[in-house]
Amino acid sequence: MENQPLLRDTIIEVNLDNIAYNMKKIKEVIGEDIFIAAVVKANGYGHGAVDIAPTIMENGGEYLAVATLTEALELRKKYEDYKIFIMGYTPDEYLDYVVNNNITQTIFSLSQAEILNDLGKKNRKKPVIHIKYDTGFNRLGFRDCKESIDEIDEIFKLKNIYVEGIFSHFALAGRIEDDLQYNKFVEAVNLVEQRGWKFKFKHICDSISGIDYPEFRLNMIRPGAIIYGLKSYKDESIMLKQAMTFKTKIYHIKALEKGEGVSYDYFWKADKNCIVGTLPFGYADGYPRNLRDKGIVTIHGKKAPIIGVICMDQCMVDLTDIPEACVGDEVIIYGDGLNNTLDIHQISQLAATNKNEIACRITRRTPRVYIKGEKVVKVSNYLL
């Protein structure tokens, strides 16, 4: 695997062995008869979709699932033969990219299916689609009604298109609502198949429902967060491994006297003489700005509180209780919860959001370093 120079000490370390472990664990839990459409949208939840894709596909992935055409094209440019599935909407004028790059497209209107059918005929291809059926999430999808069943029937009649699958999405509002959504979905599938058609793939479960509702898995699930070791399901017996570590180094240390302020507006002022370190990361790297005076990093196995307003590119920490800290020392921003580090779940709680947002918001300015067998196997610096 090729390497690029880092040129920066603030990095995301991605453990490929942990991703492989999580994929195998998912497959072990769901069984060999259920396929995996591995969700790698948002740059693989911040882990780097292109670079984690082989590990996912080698360990049970049937599909790489993304949200947008551009995400699909980034993967297709690198991997000619991987099955790629756009779960979101692609505008009509860009559907030729879908056809010419052999990408599976979500469809929820007869008119768009007809456009794909015409493009397939023109390009001598047979575009693959999955029907999106709305069972109550009220985002995208055919409405749950007879007219929608009729339109899906018409889509199946198109000669230059392959209706491979149908799917829906849980709102996860509670067990009663989830049961209702599942029953609506199964009923719709049955109504279509009673007309003589057949879906190869049927899927409604994401990471949470895929673990918590084994009876709802059908023959495909769409795990996302759990691939990366981000757990939101209830089953405590299934242990996963967080794949991401966010690291940097101390760039500057200074002594402050009591009463001196730190960062914009002096929201933090020293209540005694103290030692302050400057770290080269900020909200432009995806770190939540609302963690001012709440965030914690780990240095030499000790917790150091972030103080003052978090800047776009830098932030400051109180090093008073870590007198051994020196310029160049490693800093763990997000760890795995061991050795006094905060994991992504704990960070998300401090930031009053969810784990997925914490991982996804990490920007491409921050290089990714890939670890396998405890060795660096690749460095990806998106800006080079």
C-beta of residue 188 within 8 angstroms of C-beta of residue 182: no
Kindly name the residue from 94, 122, 264, 269 that is annotated as catalytic. Answer: 264
φ, ψ dihedrals at 55, nearest 5°: -60, -40
- Tokens 């763990």 map to which residue? 332
Enclosing H/E stretch for 213: none
What does each C-alpha distance from 282 to 12, 52, 111, 153, 363 come to in angstroms?
Answer: 14, 25, 45, 52, 11
Q: Is 264 noted as a catalytic residue in this protein?
A: yes
The token duo for 207 is 């990471």
φ, ψ dihedrals at 369, nearest 5°: -120, 120
Residue type, 181: Q
Kindly name the residue from 25, 41, 202, 231 that is annotated as catalytic. Answer: 41
Say which DSSP state 127 is in: -
C-beta of residue 142 within 8 angstroms of C-beta of residue 148: yes
User: Terminal CA-to-CA distance of the chain, rounded, Å?
Assistant: 16
Rounded distance, CA 29 to CA 276, Å? 47
φ, ψ dihedrals at 341, nearest 5°: -95, 155
Residue type, 373: G
| Residues contributing to the annotated binding site for substrate | 139, 312
Distance of CA 230 to the CA centre of its chain: 10
SS3 string, 179-203, reads HHHHHHHHHHHHHHHCCCCCCCEEE
- Tokens 């995806």 map to which residue? 286
The conformational region for residue 43 under phi > 0 = left, psi -120 to 50 = alpha, else beta, is: left
The token duo for 272 is 């005694």
Say which DSSP state 339 is in: T
The token duo for 115 is 């456009």
Residue type, 241: K
Rounded distance, CA 288 to CA 157, Å? 50
Q: Is 41 noted as a catalytic residue in this protein?
A: yes
Helices (H), 128-196: 146-157, 175-193
List residues with catalytic annotation: 41, 264
